[in-house]
Amino acid sequence: MNKTKGKVLIVDDDKDHADLLVESLQKQCSNAIAAYTAASAKSAIDRDGIDVVIVDYDLRSDTDGLDILQYAKQAKSSTKVILIADQNNTVACEQAIRMGAYEALTKPVDVDSLRLMVSKILPTRGDGKAVEDFEFPGVISRSHYMQGIYKVLRRVAPTNISVLIEGESGTGKELLARAIHENSDRRDNAFKPINCAGLTESLLESELFGHAKGAFTGATADRKGILEQADKGTLFLDEIGDMPLSMQAKLLRVLEDGIVVPVGATKAVVVDVRVVAATNHDLAKLVEEKKFRQDLYFRIKGVSLTIPPLRKRAEDIPELFGFFLRQACEELGRDIHRITESAMSILQSYHWPGNIRQLRHVIRTMVVMCDGDTLDVGDIPPDVHLVKRLSGRVEGQPDMSQDFVAQFTGRSLEEVEREHIRRTLDYTNGNRAEAAKILKIGERTLYRKIKEYDL
Ligand SMILES: Nc1ncnc2c1ncn2[C@@H]1O[C@H](COP(=O)(O)OP(=O)(O)OP(=O)(O)O)[C@@H](O)[C@H]1O
């Protein structure tokens, strides 16, 4: 059988069960180990750089499986954690998923399915050797959209091909560009980003190409441009759609010939750069409108990728949430592990115009606002709150009604009504008069429904 590379840790205080899982996983994973206590699990995580943790929720010690989940993710965010809980403990399973667990299973666990799951996380090559480690440090994503993107990146990153990344602001374009660089042979040389928007043409030219001493007022010394600084490395051209047309022509020439002449210099410099470009415009449309040069478009678009906005991949939110929660807690010296179901559900159905960047800020604000050890609806900033989503289309924002409907598809009208009333009451912190106003029903009707639905 093809063995996977990667380390698997089984954490279970039932020694026999842990050993059984280790034995079964060792058939496919040469490096499966067991820990019977939380303390030894933590030292294995610190010591061994574990890739997959399979942890029993009920450890019968002062801690539980969720604590190990949090510890493992903090030690290495790419570690995948599978939680196993008792059949009736769906609360722990839901909490684990909210905290970024890869999967949460209830007992009895089918060992073959578990093995299959681990083999999906740690793939093998046909010749039995493990796939080369391919790291996207700090890049979180489990949605099928993002998995598709990673598949392409795995192939593309190690080559020299130019990559064009399209996506709304804050979707993680620069992060992916860095991941491409880190997974290429150029990783030991520089990754140089430059934002092509917001710079005057002459500034952009001098930033890109450099300048000679005395080239213009203020040029008191020779200065290497970004292109030269990125020699043998990667040049990241952010917001390339905003580059002035005349600069586009100059850039194309350099990319074609690999020769840079700094502003005011007489000598040319030969450079070897790989280009990764990003834009939040539809570049093909800009080409049609003659606002972007077609020849440059083809030059930078060796492979093009579009990162979907966060609202189209709400399934990524729990894992991103866990990641940013840990970051914020570390930064602010807080110890918060949990989020209520209603709060997570609000985060998952918000439309996130600022995408992942906005999510990160919101989670930080929630940590600041939170009094206890669990984030709740009241900690969510008002602009992310329910009312905008429930009132349908927000001006200037996409229509969210589809996402809203999708949440409730397959549920009865009664269930939807109950849930809707519950969330609205959450939103108004239990203020019935305000909730009735939002719901556009009388207060007496609301009172009746609260009793009827036992809210
Ligand atoms: N998949 C991800 N996992 C973890 N963090 C992410 C992910 N994607 C984005 N981020 C974080 O979100 C923030 C915004 O990402 P980034 O700057 O790469 O976006 P961008 O699309 O380049 O934005 P802009 O177009 O405004 O320059 C960064 O803090 C980044 O680390």
pLDDT at 208: 93
In sequence order, what are the residues at sequence separation of 6 or more whose Cβ sits closer than 8 angstroms to the Cβ of residue 373? 335, 336, 337, 338
Give the rounded distance of the alpha carbon of 392 from its chain centre: 26
pLDDT at 28: 66
Nearest CA to ligand 1 atom 26: 169
Q: Is residue 225 in contact with ligand 1, taking CB distance under 6 Å?
A: no
Give me ligand 1 centre to Cα 358, in Å: 9
pLDDT at 133: 44
Return the domain boundaries, the chain: 8-121, 144-306, 312-452
**312-452 in CATH: which number?**
1.10.8.60
Give me ligand 1 centre to Cα 131, in Å: 27
Nearest CA to ligand 1 atom 10: 172
Superfamily (CATH) of domain 8-121: Response regulator (3.40.50.2300)
Nearest CA to ligand 1 atom 16: 172
pLDDT at 290: 93
- Nearest atom in ligand 1 to the alpha carbon of residue 316 is 1
Give me ligand 1 centre to Cα 357, in Å: 6
Query: Does the ipTM surpass 0.90?
Result: yes
CB burial class (10 A; 0-12, 13-18, 19+) of residue 69?
buried
Integer-rounded Cα Rg, in Å, for the chain is: 26
Contact 50, 82 (CB under 8 A): no
Nearest CA to ligand 1 atom 23: 170
Give me ligand 1 centre to Cα 356, in Å: 6
CATH class of the 144-306 domain in this structure: alpha beta
User: Which of 171, 279, 315, 331 maximizes ligand 1 atoms within 8 Å of its Cβ, making it the mutation to test the pocket?
Assistant: 171
Q: Is residue 242 in contact with ligand 1, taking CB distance under 6 Å?
A: no
Count the alpha carbons within 13 Å of 143 in the hemisphere toward its beta carbon: 18
pTM, entire model: 0.65
- Nearest atom in ligand 1 to the alpha carbon of residue 138 is 4
Nearest CA to ligand 1 atom 8: 172
pLDDT at 388: 42
Q: Is residue 65 in contact with ligand 1, taking CB distance under 6 Å?
A: no
Nearest CA to ligand 1 atom 30: 172
Q: Is residue 363 in contact with ligand 1, taking CB distance under 6 Å?
A: no
pLDDT at 136: 62
Per-run averaged pLDDT (10 residues), the chain, 455 residues: 73 89 77 90 87 90 86 82 89 85 87 83 48 54 78 88 94 92 90 89 90 80 91 95 92 92 88 95 93 95 92 86 88 88 87 92 94 90 63 40 55 82 79 85 88 82
pLDDT at 399: 41
Same topology for domains 144-306 and 312-452, yes or no? no
Contact 438, 424 (CB under 8 A): yes
